[in-house]
């Protein structure tokens, strides 16, 4: 049964690279069945709406716009969007009660996804050389990146039934490359409580996480799923978010 406190907290859900708000559809339905309002953010970096190629800072601004419409929010970022939510909620943002990093990148100020990947590869070169678990990317003439379908199946949706994986692959979007190269200017996780959710079947080669983050994380949880659990196991993701939302007190300070 939904409690009154959880009903006053909004789940703000942010998709990762090459994805879109569609990845959260089933999670949103399950949260709404419990009386939790959800907002999904459509990141500019995965929209092909102009000749300009947006980056991390544009995506963070879109998330801030969504947060400005909330009184109390639990902010969840998946994959690349871990960097986005940490940038967006910095300040800290008055509405954000808790950050949730779902199989996510967690940069510190000054880090980019590229710099974190380079550091991870240096620390674990054997893991970085694996070919089966990485994303396979092509560069389009307009400068945007696209994932190859079979690479997406192996890296993102291997734990889904074939037809569900097919649906997701058909919905993948091009991605602007600046999302990987722009450095974060701030790190909200230094000021706001957070939960990191690891996925035990994730095939991406290594986590893009600042070592300093682990000193600040409130807790680390695991899910028995691949890199996109909100698509393969939305029930588990909704359960975890419900637990976090239920304990995110509106009078808590960030």
Q: What's the rounded Cα separation, in Å, for the pair 37 and 49? A: 28
Give pLDDT, residue 254.
38
User: In 3D, which of 199, 235, 203 has the Cα closest to residue 220?
Assistant: 199
What CATH class has 4-247?
alpha beta
Split the chain (254 residues) into runs of 10 and give each run's mean pLDDT. 63 98 98 97 91 94 97 98 98 98 98 94 63 71 96 97 98 97 98 98 89 97 98 98 85 42
pLDDT at 81: 98
**Reported pTM:** 0.92
Q: Give CA angle at 123 (112, 176), nearest 5°.
A: 25
- Residue 242 and residue 87 in contact, taking contact as beta carbons nearer than 8 Å: no
Identify the pLDDT of residue 48.
86
Q: Which region, left, alpha or beta, applies to residue 110 given φ > 0 means left and ψ of -120 to 50 means alpha? A: left
Output the CA torsion 115→17→87→187 (10° steps). -50
pLDDT for position 248: 75
The predicted pLDDT at position 52 comes to 87
């Amino acid at each position: 049964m939904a409690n009154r406190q959880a009903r006053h907290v909004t789940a703000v859900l942010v998709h990762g690279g090459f994805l879109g708000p569609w990845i959260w559809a089933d999670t949103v339905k399950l949260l709404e069945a419990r009386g939790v309002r959800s907002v999904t953010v459509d990141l500019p970096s995965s929209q092909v709406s102009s000749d300009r190629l947006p980056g991390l800072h544009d995506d963070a601004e879109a998330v801030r716009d969504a947060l400005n419409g909330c009184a109390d929010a639990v902010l969840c970022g998946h994959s690349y969007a871990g960097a986005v939510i940490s940038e967006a909620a910095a300040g800290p943002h008055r509405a954000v009660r808790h950050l949730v990093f779902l199989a996510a990148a967690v940069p510190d100020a000054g880090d980019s996804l590229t710099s974190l990947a380079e550091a991870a590869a240096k620390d674990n070169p054997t893991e970085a050389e694996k070919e089966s678990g990485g994303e396979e990317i092509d560069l389009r003439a307009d400068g945007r990146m696209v994932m190859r379908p079979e690479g997406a199946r192996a890296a993102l949706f291997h734990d889904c039934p074939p037809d569900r994986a097919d649906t997701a692959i058909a919905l993948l979007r091009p991605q602007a490359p600046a999302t990987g190269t722009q450095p974060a200017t701030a790190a909200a996780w230094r000021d706001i409580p957070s939960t990191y959710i690891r996925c035990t079947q994730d095939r991406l080669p290594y986590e893009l996480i600042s070592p300093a983050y682990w000193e600040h994380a409130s807790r680390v949880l695991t899910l028995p799923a691949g890199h996109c659990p909100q698509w393969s196991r939305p029930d588990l993701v909704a359960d975890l978010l419900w637990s976090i939302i239920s304990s995110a007190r509106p009078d808590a300070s960030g």
